Amino acid sequence: MKSTKAQAARWLSRLIHKEKIDMKDEKIHDETFLFTVEGFCEQKPVFFICRDEEGLQFGYHSFKEIDPSRPAPSKVKRHLIEWEMLESGSREERQEKILNTLVSTIRSRKKQYRTCQYCSLKFPPEQRFNQKTCQNCAPSRSHAVH
């Protein structure tokens, strides 16, 4: 499996070539591009780059639990590169800035994951029963109520 940075670089290169996301487009507002990290954990984390009037927004998808049977997807924004900053650099500099920001977003999200002491699967903080146990294992190991 390729490293996360290699996966992101390949995806981003295609995206810049095809969609020109490194350049402001007055006709496009709030366009979102999704990137899934492969090989990190069973539940693959999903990240996004959103092109809007301010610049490029970077973040990830999280799930907020409305009730146990219906987790609601939620976008968590982490970084913004303003158009003025992007437009001041060469094409290579723009691509490098976007890649570094995306990788920084991915790394910070991956640090939030823990490995369950019972099933040994990685899980995000929103699926955490406690620091060492995922919500899936909690009911069978304790008297947890969901």
pLDDT tens, position by position, 81-105: 999 999 898 999 999 999 999 999 9
Q: Which residues contact 40 (CB under 8 A, 6 or more apart)?
A: 4, 110, 113, 122
| One domain, residues 23 and 74 | yes
| One domain, residues 103 and 118 | no
| Mean per-residue pLDDT, 48-66 | 88
| One domain, residues 126 and 81 | no
| One domain, residues 50 and 67 | yes
DSSP 4: H
Backbone angles phi, psi at 10, to 5 degrees: -65, -45
Helix axes 4-19, 91-110, angle to 10 degrees: 140
| One domain, residues 90 and 139 | no
> Rounded to whole angstroms, how far apart are CA atoms 103 and 110?
10
| One domain, residues 26 and 87 | yes
| One domain, residues 126 and 143 | yes
| CB neighbours of residue 75 within 10 Å | 13
Q: What is the pLDDT of residue 39?
A: 84
Query: The domain containing residue 14 runs over which residues?
Result: 4-112
How many domains are contained in the chain? 2
